[in-house]
Structure 1
Amino acid sequence: MALSSDSWRGLAIATFILLGWIISVCLHEFGHAVVAYWGGDQTVKDKGYLTLNPLKYSDFSYSLIYPLFFLMLGGIALPGAAVYINTWLLRSRLWQSAVSAAGPLATALVAVLLSHPFRLGLSSENWFWTALACLTSLQVVALCFNLLPVPSLDGFGILEPWLPRSWQPSLRQWRRYGFLALIVILWTVPVAQQVFWGFVGTISRELGVPPDLMATGYSLFHQSSRLLFVVVLVIVLIFRKLLSRPQSTDASDTQSLEAKLAAYDQAIASKKPTTADLWFGKGCILGELKRYQEAVESYDRALELQPKNPESCWLNRAIALYEIGRDEEAVESYEQALKLKTPSPDDWYFYGLMLSGLDRYEDAINSYKRALETKPEDAEIWYQQGQALYWLGQQDDAIASYDKAVYLQPEFAQAWFRRGLVFNQLQQFPRALKSFEQALKIQADSPAVLAAKGFTLMQLDQYEDAITAHEQSVEIDPNDAHAWYNKACCHAHQGQVSPAIESLKQAVQLNPEPTREIAIDDPDFEELHQEPAFRKLIY
């Protein structure tokens, strides 16, 4: 059936607004990214954010889930976007605020630019001016909404760096809910609606946008946008999936590297004497091919020819040595590289990891401290420092480092887990249990955390809950002898002889001699010693 003229008009308005909106969202996110780049987060370039390509900014929640949610509620469905900034790389709190402010500033500039024709009195009642008025008004809505000081929005991001640090962990917990909570308030609280939309209307009129065109544009867009929006989203998601497929590192890539390697070999053979640069380049190619032993030999040859080789040769040599298990030599090579450059926080961090691998925990801690001097908000460094302190037996200091890690990154499941293990060692079982429960909120299917939780519950005499935790653990990882053993202990405490022996049998099958040696003197099995099945299994 042919579309009426009103339908075609509505479709044209919806298409114009949707395309204009996508461009404005890209400008908004580009504003965040470029200011972050200026402020010290160079990773935005590697992530592809310094572009106006909408596929680089698409986000599952903001581009699909929320718009469809608004559609179902009868509202306007417009895709959003997101960029992910490493705020700890930014030079100061001022830069952090500037990054958050950059997006709304871009939106404000778009609104001013779009409204300029109206201020010149150029509007009429055709579809173009109706669509332009609606699009301009939507920019004002986006600007006012984003500047609200609610966690996850830019308005909060501007203020957050200046808030007391003690507030920030609690406020971070609200990031995942702040956006939806605000939507619910604006949707259901009449006073909030009146204030917000009244403010939007005032700014739009100040910009010269005719209210009648705004209302008409909104109505026609709402009628025609649903099908158009869904079609565009499907196309965007399909293209995004195609473009985001990982490039295969198959035979063609290997052949390309082998060809480069052959070219280096030919160049080395033809030059008398051979330059250090050729041996270094050959080492890099061998490293990409994971032929680390040969890579080390190439780097050694480069260093023979040029002992004061740039630090990159020493660094690459250290990595290759590390990969083949020559840890001591890797550390020595890395130390040579550090002498030739001004070490970055990442250099100190990686150096700490290498030292930890050699059980040189005190040196590793000193290296992590150097990294934290300029990267104090890196949760991973705090976590690794906690690990080194743990292995040194400094449990209180280890807990302090884990606390810092989870303060900076509340979703850091491994840090919560390690924190719980230390509390178990200190026999502070209620605190350990809280840590394990927090870890399981983040990673519910971790058998190690479930087993640790079961052990802790057993120490608290909560045997039924402990059995449940161990059952969940061995269901995921049936080869964990410790989980089976502790499950047997819980059954024994409950007087459940057959389940206890059955679980113990599983532990013995997985780890025979150590399990038997422990079980013989374990008071948890005192009541089972007279059971023939137990004696047959253990003795």
Structure 2
Amino acid sequence: MWLVAIFVCLGWMVSLCFHEFGHAIAAYWGGDTSVKDKGYLTLNPLKYTDPGLSLLLPLFFLMMGGFALPGGAVYINTSKLRNRWWNSAVSAAGCVAEFFVVIILALVFHAIWNQETFNLERNVENSLYVSSILSIAYVIFLNIYVIFINLLPIPGLDGYGIIQPWIPTRIDKKLNKFSSYGFWILIAGFWFYPPFGHLLRNISNHAIALLSIPDILVDVGGSMFRTYAQYLVLGLIAVLWIFRDKRKDLYRKGTRLISEGKYASAIAIFDRAVAAEPNYYRVWLMRGYALYCMERYEDAQISYNKALELQPDSSDSWYYKGIIFTDTDESYEALNCFNKAIEIQPDYLEALCQRGYLLIEQENYQQALTDFERAIEIDTNNSTAWHGMGKVIP
């Protein structure tokens, strides 16, 4: 049944969108307002999916009778989050959103399914009804399966992101080196140790049973999907690839290279993005950050100025300009930049702390104390703010 393949593909995309939206909205609530500028506060899959990683590979494995893999791409500026509780919450939010998808789909399933009258052979002529039942049952199973996979404490997965803020820094730095290989570690686990996959399958089957969904419907739905989905999936990927936001593809690639410490490569990618779309201010912002990391301060300031020309109310651009002025001992200019950043975003934690330290240098202790107190109100565990308080109060 072609309808099963269509419904499962659509269900997978919707689930992915809710998963990534969960990450984005939690980050927004937690302090990283940049997710709004990046276009992540939406259920549009083109805004944050990579057609290869997010859809092609997972659906390919499903068609081959394998396992569902999580996908999607939302890049969070964790330095903007208020505290490590929010860091954990952002990582957990994707699975929480997917759990709600499971509950909603389960309610829909039981609303339209009648155990006493439903029979695969007898109801087969009603293809829409049968396809809906089988598709919903299979999509519920896939979501449950992906939730358990994502909660594994493997670097690169949400499970590790939940515990990462609580891991000692020296240990996290060692483990984080494997974050780029988390996907392959997962595949290796399934490939070389079959009991690992069987365990996750059994756990998911138990969850399906708790929701009173017959496993025969899941099995038949999965079988029909794999039979009819091949050409549909290829067509879907082609459409997503053609209509993808190429500008954001370059931006995401550049930010990923920054996170890996490959600053020169990131700048080259951002230069390509600027050539394609000169008015995309976030590219100029991140390009400036990559230049700053390479200590190319003058070039970084040029990028930040261009970002501010395009979006004058960008608190991040003013903040990072202030950081460069601080590093080059231009205190007056730095203070003006931090003032502007805080004027735009009064709860900008990092800007408050940086301004506090500059005010200490100017012996303006009362205002510095006010800034550190405000920072501590925002994040009671912020060590930078407490250290500043210690320098102000004898």
TM range (shorter): 0.5 to 0.7
Q: Match for residue 351 of structure 1?
A: 322
1:90 aligns with 2:81: yes
Q: Deviations over 1:29-85 (max 9, x none)?
A: 101101100100000000000011110011255225633763796536778311000
Q: Paired residue for 2:189?
A: 185
Which of 36, 49, 55 in structure 1 is aligned with 2:27? 36
C-alpha distance in structure 2 between counterparts of 1:202 and 1:108, whole Å: 15
Which residue number in structure 2 is paired with residue 308 of structure 1? Answer: none
Aligned equivalents of 1:26, 1:46: Cα separation in 2: 17
SS in 2 for 1:134: helix
Give 1:158 shift: 0.8
Q: 1:15 aligns with which of 3, 6, 17?
A: 6
Aligned residue in 1 for 2:206: 202
Cα distance in 1, alignment partners of residues 3 and 164 from structure 2: 41
The alpha carbon displacement at 1:127 in A equals: 2.1
- 2:99 is the alignment partner of 1:108: yes
Deviating more after overlay: 113-122 vs 26-35: 113-122
Instruction: Give distance in 1, aligned partners of 2:70 and 2:316.
Output: 38
Residue 233 of structure 2 corresponds to residue 229 of structure 1: yes
Q: Please list every run of 5 or more consecutive structure 1 residues that lacks an aligned counterpart in the other structure.
A: 1-8, 254-318, 324-343, 382-539
Answering whether residue 126 of structure 2 is matched by residue 122 of structure 1, we say no
Shift of residue 188, structure 1, vs aligned partner: 2.7
The one-letter amino acid paired with 2:232 is L
Which residue type is aligned with residue 136 of structure 1? I
TM superposition shift of 1:117: 4.4
Unaligned regions of 5+ residues in structure 2, if any?
Answer: 121-129, 250-272, 280-297, 303-314, 342-347, 355-394
Q: CA deviation at 1:168?
A: 1.0
Distance 1:68 1:18 in 2: 8
Distance 2:154 2:131 in 1: 36
1:347 Cα deviation after fit: 4.4
Q: Which moved more, 1:64-73 or 1:196-205?
A: 64-73
Structure 1 residue 113 displacement after superposition: 1.4
Alignment pair present for 1:158 and 2:162? yes
Equivalent residues of 1:41, 1:85 under 8 A apart: yes
Distance in 1 (CA, whole Å) between partners of 2:69 and 2:178 is 24
Aligned length: 277
TM-score (norm 1): 0.46
Secondary structure (helix, strand or coil) at the match of 1:218 reads helix
| Cα gap change, 1:173 to 1:364, in 2 (>3 Å) | farther
Change (3 A) 1:236 1:369: closer
Post-superposition offset of 1:209: 1.2
- Assess, with a 3 A threshold, how the Cα gap between structure 1 residues 360 and 234 changes in structure 2: closer, same or farther: same
CA contact (8 A) 2:84 2:165 kept: yes
Cα distance 1:180–1:81, how it changes in 2: closer, same or farther (>3 A)? same
Change (3 A) 1:78 1:122: farther
Q: Secondary structure at the match of 1:187?
A: helix
Tell me, yes or no, if structure 1 residue 143 matches structure 2 residue 147.
yes
Structure with higher Rg: it is 1
Q: 1:232 to 1:136 in 2, by over 3 A?
A: same
Q: 1:64 & 1:157 partners in 2: Cα distance?
A: 22
CA–CA distance in structure 2, aligned partners of residues 232 and 112 of structure 1: 27
Cα distance in 2, alignment partners of residues 75 and 375 from structure 1? 45
Matches within 5 A, 1:66-81: 66-67=57-58, 70=61, 75=66, 80-81=71-72
2:63–2:226 contact (8 Å) kept in structure 1? no
